């Protein structure tokens, strides 16, 4: 995923957090989205240090989320998306990938 598909600044995140157009969640994840004026979708991932202690684990989760986004980016509406990881999440969780796919599918429909 190149820089073109990343939300570049905290200002971009703030706009989505303050007034998202859509929200979809599971027990492990929350995805917020907002319209953008670009011709492509963008992704931001927010994981609190308080929730996932080790940077190694936070980075693994981010890689998996970005990989999932990359596989769906052509199908998704042209919006900005922020994925929030909820407390108690484990990157080894088997249902994580399935939850993420289901959430992306909700945006596609």
Q: Where are the domains positioned within the chain?
A: 3-108
**pLDDT of amino acid 27:** 86
**What letter does residue 95 receive in the DSSP assignment?**
H
- Contact call for residues 82 and 14 (beta carbons, < 8 A): no
Report the C-alpha gap between 71 and 55 in whole angstroms. 24
pLDDT tens-digit readout, 12-66:
888 899 999 999 999 889 999 999 988 899 999 999 999 888 999 899 999 999 9
pLDDT at 88: 74
Report the CATH fold assignment for 3-108: Ribosomal Protein S5; domain 2 (3.30.230)
- Given pLDDT bands bounded at 50, 70 and 90, which one contains residue 94? confident
| Euclidean distance between CA atoms 43 and 8, whole angstroms | 9
Give the predicted TM-score (pTM) of the model. Answer: 0.87
Q: Given this model, what pLDDT does residue 3 score?
A: 59
DSSP 43: E
């Amino acid at each position: 995923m190149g820089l073109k598909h990343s939300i570049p600044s905290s200002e971009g995140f703030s706009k989505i957090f303050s007034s998202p157009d859509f929200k979809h969640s599971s027990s492990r994840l929350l995805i917020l989205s907002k319209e953008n004026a670009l011709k492509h979708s963008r992704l931001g991932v927010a994981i609190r240090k308080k929730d996932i202690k080790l940077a190694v684990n936070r980075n693994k989760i981010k890689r998996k989320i970005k990989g999932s986004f990359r596989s769906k980016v052509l199908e998704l509406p042209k919006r900005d998306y922020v994925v929030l990881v909820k407390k108690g999440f484990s990157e080894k969780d088997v249902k994580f990938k399935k939850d993420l796919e289901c959430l992306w599918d909700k945006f596609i429909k």
